[in-house]
Amino acid sequence: MARLLVQLKLHLLRNALRSSAGAKVGFIASTIGAGLVAAGAFAILALLRGNAASVYLTSVIFTVFAFGWLMLPLLAFGLDGTLDPATLALYPLRTRPLAVGLLAASATGAWPLANVLGLLGVTVGLASDGFGLLVAVLAVLLQVLFCITLARFVTTGMAGVLRSRRGRDLAIFLVIPLFALYEAFAQLVPRLSAEGKLTPASFAGVDAWLRWLPPGLAAHAIRDASTGHPGTALLRLALLAGVIVVLGWLWVGSLRRALVTADASTQGSAVRAARLPFAGYGLRGTVAARFWVYQRRDPLSLMYWGVTPVIMLAASVSTITTPRYLVGVLLSAAFAGAFVGFFHSNSIAMSGPGFAVEAVALTGRRALRAYFTGQNIALGIIGVPLLAVVSFGIAAVAGHPVNGFLGLAVDLAGLGAGLAMSNILTVGLAYPVEKRAGSPAPRPADGFAGHPLGGTLSCLAVVGITLIPVIVACLTTHGAPAGIRMPLLVLGAAGYGLALVWAGMRIAAATAAQKLPELTQIAIRSKL
Amino acid sequence: MGQPAIAVHVLRKSFGTKEAVAGIDLEIAAGSFAGLVGPNGAGKTTSLSMMTGLLRPDAGQVVINGLDVWADPVAAKAIIGVVPSEARLFERLSGEELLEYAGRLHGLPAGEARSRAEQLLNVLDLAEDARRLVADYSTGMRRKASLGCALIHNPMVLFLDEPLEGVDPVSGDVIRRLLTRFVRSGSTVLFSSHVMELVEQVCDHVSIIDKGHIVMTGTIDQVRGGKTLQQAFIDLVGARAADEEVLSWLGSSSS
């Protein structure tokens, strides 16, 4: 069984090289990424040799790897066909050999190998003698086995949920904290390190409780073995092995249940609202109602709105506590407008095949103007207050809450420019999207991989250029009394933003009227 | 015959080098229940997409009740309803919201759209699931919701692509009865299918399409020519059975 499942995994990996160009590129990039992670992890762990805090940092690195193994299958469920027990439920297989086979399949591939090779850096960084080396190798193997078993346990236990619509919805939301964590790491770690506030010794506190988790047990076992405490080292390894056995036992039980349990994919709950809002506002209101409902119920839309404040915070975090705080306030608002525009820059294709319902009713410029206006109204209703709150929050943290009005001015103009670009790009740069295994958000269909980049760059460039007059006005009027300056700037920017979004809507409607069947086909091709 | 409800002239569409629809002509009288049958890949969906203004043809003309679909799409689309082969719906709306939305898109006042949505959901046996998200609907429920969207504005001509694919017999019967009632009122239905029994049961007119060509069209009796429709269809498009002798191991008597 183990051999068969390993062969299956190898076939799946090999077939990735035979499929579409996009999948091929993705597979090659992933393999290169695994190689880089292996080399990087090995180098970092090896460089810890002689460092007083080496065991703390090793604990943290081992825990980060385990966290990665835990999170990735939740985001990439379906990427590895051997992860889903439903694919094997049809066959007459006994649970225990199946479990062993699935573990072996999990251990096959570039990433598991990269984990082992990368973590073996501890043989240089933490182990010091023969016994230490032996324990280091054992600890790394047990750590990787723990990661695999943990990932299998979680994915098997949650397979029914992950296969369901709700589970896939929830998986998308994981993107927000992961993106926030990445931004925090990328922005704060270098800064705190440069300021001397983050040193290897800082991890001692974290290690105080990480040492009792399985990855910490592995790291400390190596340290103990290398500092003359063989008994403690072996005890820690035995404890780690015990955790793996318990986890494996739980996993086998979960697998046994999963093979005979129906998933919850069709068990949906009722929605509260029974009627569409904005009933009295014609076609514009009708479309606004649909977009409004989608902004609240579509997990991708919610994810976009969740990521927008993170982008704003990331754009301002490096300057927020410095005298150049205003750069952060204005820059965050500008980025927000550009990204709101980009996130909705393929809205017809992102409507998916359902757009056919709209296409049958939407023909002619007038109807299409109503369509884009309805969309912009729904996005504006959410975007304006959200961006305003974040801008005022950033200004308040900077200690200059009144300057939140400057952020608001840029928010309003930027949102106008962003929505205008979203309308224009929705028509001018439409591309079909597909939800694929391994990606919680839809990705461009084959042959359209460059379109999102084109959309991002266009939004950033156009929003940046159109915001120049507003930013110049904000920066050159600081001598004027705030009571006059702020309202004038906000009102002026709001009018400017409205003019931009009006122009974008007109251009988009005129273009869409000429190519509605083609846009419909793009939407129908989308697989959501 | 008066003005046909659907008139198609030399309709043509190619995808790259493959000619999906090779210049078809078709006329369906008003008040007909017409079927368009053909094997997989014959050009049924492509033809229906072009007839409903969803796919631009390379050449040809489609006239619905005197309105040219491609010259005056606004007017033509106002009088047709479309049920595509894959239920193309807004997954994050509830069934009730979806039908109301479709009605309002067609210009119905909000109150009227709500009231018709409620009635259609009742008739289509979806009332209990009216507040569930379409994303959580089964295939049959999605098909019925799609039919509701196509009917809510009371179209004069209804196009359906494989309407009973994946639908259970009870739901199938509900859909059949609804469509029969719709046609009896003078409206026209054109639907594609590869289930001959269904076409034979409900249609009064049938056209057989194969490899992008209409190979036969007429009343059911004309097309059958004294045989079953299934046999007439196979005779026209050709049997495509592979050599089954190689499967000699298959079956209980083999070991």
C-alpha neighbours within 13 Å on the C-beta side of residue B55: 23
Residues B102 and A357: beta-carbon distance below 8 Å? yes
**pLDDT per residue as tens digits for the range B164-195:** 887 888 888 888 889 999 999 999 999 998 88
CB-based contact (8 Å) between B138 and chain A? yes
Is B132–A359 a contact, with Cβ atoms under 8 angstroms apart? no
Q: H or E segment at B175? A: helix B169-184
Q: Which CATH number is correct for B1-77+193-255, 3.40.190.10, 3.40.50.300, 3.40.470.10, 3.30.70.890?
A: 3.40.50.300
**Largest pairwise CA distance in chain B:** 68
Residue A297, SS3 per DSSP: helix
Residues of A within 8 A of B138 (CB-CB) are 266
Question: Tokens 């009394």 correspond to what residue?
Answer: A481
How many whole angstroms separate alpha carbon A343 and alpha carbon A346?
8
* Among chain A residues, CA nearest to B114: A275
**For testing the chain B interface, which of A170, A269, A286 should be mutated: the one with the most B CBs within 10 Å?**
A286
pLDDT interval class at A22 (50, 70, 90)? low
Written as six digits, the tokens of B122 are 């009742």
Judge whether B80 is closer than 8 Å to chain A, CB to CB.
yes
Q: Give me the pLDDT at residue A495, please.
A: 97
Two structure tokens written together for B161: 């692509």
Burial (CB < 10 A; 0-12, 13-18, 19+), residue B179, is buried
Query: What are the pLDDT digits (tens) for A381-404?
Result: 999 999 999 999 999 999 999 999
What residues contact residue A290 under an 8 Å CB cut-off, 6+ apart? A276, A374, B90, B93, B101
Distance CA(B26)–CA(B11), nearest Å, equals: 9
Q: Which residue has the tokens 């082969």?
A: B85
Q: Phi and psi for B40 in degrees, rounded to 5?
A: -60, 135
**DSSP state at residue B94:** B
Taking the C-alpha atoms of residue B93 and residue B96, their distance in angstroms, rounded to an integer, is: 8
Q: A113 Cβ partners below 8 Å, 6+ apart?
A: A34, A38
Sign of CA dihedral A419, A421, A426, A430: negative
Report the DSSP pairing between strands A443-444 and B6-15.
unpaired
- For residue A443, the surrounding DSSP H or E stretch is strand A443-444
Q: Which residue has the tokens 């191991």?
A: B249
Higher pLDDT, A413 or A28: A413
pTM: 0.76
The domain segmentation of chain B, as residue ranges, is 1-77+193-255
Q: How many residues does chain B have?
A: 255
Other CB atoms closer than 10 Å to residue A26's CB: what's the count?
19
- List chain A residues with CB under 8 Å of B136: 165, 266-268
Higher pLDDT, A281 or A236: A236
**Residue B104: closest CA among chain A residues belongs to which residue?**
A286
- In this prediction, residues B42-64 reach a mean pLDDT of 91
Handedness of CA B247, B251, B254, B255 (dihedral sign): positive
Residues near B83 by beta carbon (within 8 Å), at least 6 away in sequence: B143, B146, B147, B149, B150, B158, B159, B160, B161, B163
Each residue's pLDDT tens digit, B6-21: 999 999 999 888 899 9
Question: What is the pLDDT at residue A152?
Answer: 84
Q: Which residues of A are less than 8 Å from B64 in CB distance?
A: none
What single letter denotes the amino acid at residue A235? L
Chain A residues touching B94 at Cβ < 8 A: 270-271, 273-274
Q: Sorting pLDDT into bands at 50, 70 and 90, what band is A247? A: very high
Is the CB of B16 inside 8 Å of chain A's CB atoms?
no
* The pLDDT of residue A273 is above 70: no
CB atoms near residue A8 (< 10 Å) = 17
β partners of residue B214: B209
Q: Collect all residues with Cβ–Cβ distance below 8 Å to A264 and sequence separation of at least 6.
A: A160, A161, A164, A166
Average pLDDT of chain B to the nearest whole number: 88
B205 φ/ψ angles, rounded to the nearest 5 degrees: -140, 140
Look-up of token digits 């046609």: B183
Q: What is the pLDDT of residue A439?
A: 62
Strand ranges, E, within chain B = 6-15, 18-28, 33-37, 59-64, 67-68, 80-83, 157-161, 188-193, 205-210, 213-219
Q: What are the tokens at B180?
A: 């029969």
Cα B232 to the center of its chain, rounded Å:
21
Please state, in angstroms and as integers, the Cα–Cα distance from residue A497 to each residue in A109, A253, A340, A491, B222, following that order. 51, 58, 14, 10, 65
Whose CA is closest to A485, among A402, A390, A425?
A402
Cβ of A352 within 8 Å of Cβ of B91? The answer is yes
The SS3 of residue B216 is strand
Tokens of A392: 């005022």
Q: How far is A508 from chain B (nearest CA, A)?
A: 18
Report the share of chain A in percent with pLDDT over 70.
89
Structure token digits, residue A386: 């959200």
CA distance A318 to A191: 8
- Neighbouring-strand partners of residue B188: B157
d(CA A347, CA A403): 33
Identify the pLDDT of residue A243. 95
**pLDDT at A265 (0 to 100):** 47
The residue behind tokens 């301002």 is A316
Q: What is the mean pLDDT of residues A138-144?
A: 95
What whole-number percentage of chain A has pLDDT above 90?
A: 47
pLDDT, position B207: 94
Residues forming a β-bridge with B206: B35, B218
What is the model's pLDDT at position A431? Answer: 93
Instruction: Output the six-digit token pair for A146.
Output: 């723990």
The answer, yes or no, to whether residue A498 has pLDDT greater than 70, is: yes
pLDDT digits (tens, 9 = 90+) for A278-335: 767 888 999 999 999 988 888 889 889 999 999 999 888 888 888 889 999 999 999 9
On whether any CB of chain A is under 8 Å from the CB of B160, the answer is no
**Does residue B209 or residue A196 have the better pLDDT?**
B209
Q: What is the pLDDT of residues A429-474, one digit of tens each?
A: 999 998 765 566 788 887 888 888 999 999 999 999 999 999 999 9
Strand partners, B80: B157
**Cα A500 → chain centroid:** 30
Q: Which of B52, B90, B94 sits opposite A357 (nearest CB)?
A: B90
pLDDT at residue A146 above 60? yes
How far CA A147 is from CA of A67, A135, A247, in Å, comes to 8, 18, 10
CA separation for the pair A317, A413 (Å, rounded): 22
Structure confidence at residue A268 as a pLDDT band (50, 70, 90): low
pLDDT in tens, A66-115: 988 888 766 665 556 566 666 666 666 677 777 888 888 888 888 889 99
Which of B91, B105, B138 minimises the CB distance to A286?
B105
pLDDT given for residue B246 in this prediction: 78
Q: Which of A273, A276, A298 has its CB closest to that of B101?
A: A276
Could you say which DSSP state residue A352 is in? G
Q: What is the pLDDT of residue A266?
A: 46
> Do A105 and A7 contact (CB within 8 A), yes or no?
no
Nearest to A318 by CA among A335, A306, A305, A300: A335
Whether residue A405 is predicted with pLDDT greater than 90 in this model: the reply is yes
Q: CA-based angle A364:B88:A358, to the nearest 5?
A: 20
Phi and psi at residue A112, to the nearest 5°: -60, -40
